[in-house]
Amino acid sequence: MGVQPEVIGGLRDRIHKLMEVAQQVRKENEELKALVGRLQSDLRTKVAEQSELRERYQRLKMSKTFGPDENSARETKLQVTRIVREIDKCIALLNR
């Protein structure tokens, strides 16, 4: 007793459908990989922009502390103290 032609035909159809699905999945996978690459690139750009904006904000904040405001002397003192601490940390790291 051999395998019936209908069974072979059914298996052949299923195999073709599976191959089509596999090809679609490969294509979708490639598209998703490309999307991930673009999103990672965008993220790096946004992180760099955020860093630049933070630096600009800190500079602006510092420039305002040197203004003619009543609290400016106190703020300036605090800002200078923070900067000195950061410099001390850097020196400590360099001395390791």
pLDDT value at 87 more than 60: yes
- Model confidence band, residue 70 (pLDDT cutoffs 50, 70, 90): low
pLDDT value at 38 more than 90: yes
Separation CA 55–CA 89 (nearest Å): 19
Q: Which residue blocks in 1-96 are alpha helix, DSSP H?
A: 5-65, 72-94
On whether both 34 and 81 belong to a single domain, the answer is no
On whether both 19 and 49 belong to a single domain, the answer is yes
What is the separation, in whole angstroms, between the first and last Cα of the chain? 82
Q: What percent of the chain has pLDDT over 70?
A: 86
Residue 89 sits in which domain range? 66-96
Q: Which amino acid is at 93?
A: L
Domain membership flag for residue 61 = no
Q: Which amino acid is at 31?
A: E
- Model confidence band, residue 69 (pLDDT cutoffs 50, 70, 90): low
Q: Output the furthest CA–CA distance in the chain (Å, rounded).
A: 102
pLDDT of res. 24: 98
Predicted TM-score of the model (pTM): 0.52
Separation CA 39–CA 44 (nearest Å): 9
On whether both 50 and 80 belong to a single domain, the answer is no
Report how many domains make up the chain: 2
On whether both 43 and 89 belong to a single domain, the answer is no
